[in-house]
Amino acid sequence: MSVVPSENGTSLLEVLVALLLIAMGALSVAPMFISAAKANASGADISSLTSIATARMESFRATAFHDLVAGGSLTSNLAGYSDTVPGVVLRWVIVDGGGPSDTKTIRLIATVVTQLAGRPKSVELTTLRAK
């Protein structure tokens, strides 16, 4: 009489092949997680910049018109026309409107000093202020 081997269960070779396929699938998906983490960090930088710049613009809107003195620079820190918030540099320019001086243009640039990921980021906001 011949004995027929039982086919119950899986062999060690089948388990190793299955583990290899699972590992290859996991390794192929890993770069997407890294890319998503970088995109989230970059979004956090931009969101933080926009929030800080908007708050500063709101303070300009709350300032009396005659207290907004023309001047400033968007490329260097000038006293009275720049500020540093943790991790962010703010610079602004106030320009008197042409013709009748009942308008002022305010341009503000917020730049990340310590960024979480990616290239340097900045946000520029411009507003027109009237008497």
Domain ranges of the chain: 12-130
Pairing mode of beta strands 103-112, 88-96: antiparallel
Amino acid 2: pLDDT: 67
Check if the beta carbon of residue 53 is closer than 8 Å to that of residue 125: yes
Supply the pLDDT for residue 113.
82
pTM assigned to the model: 0.70
* Best mean pLDDT range from 7-11, 20-24, 119-123: 20-24
**How many other C-beta atoms can be found within 10 angstroms of the C-beta atom of residue 109?**
20
Maximum mean pLDDT: which of 28-42, 45-59, 99-113: 45-59
CB-CB contact of 92 with 108 (8 Å): yes
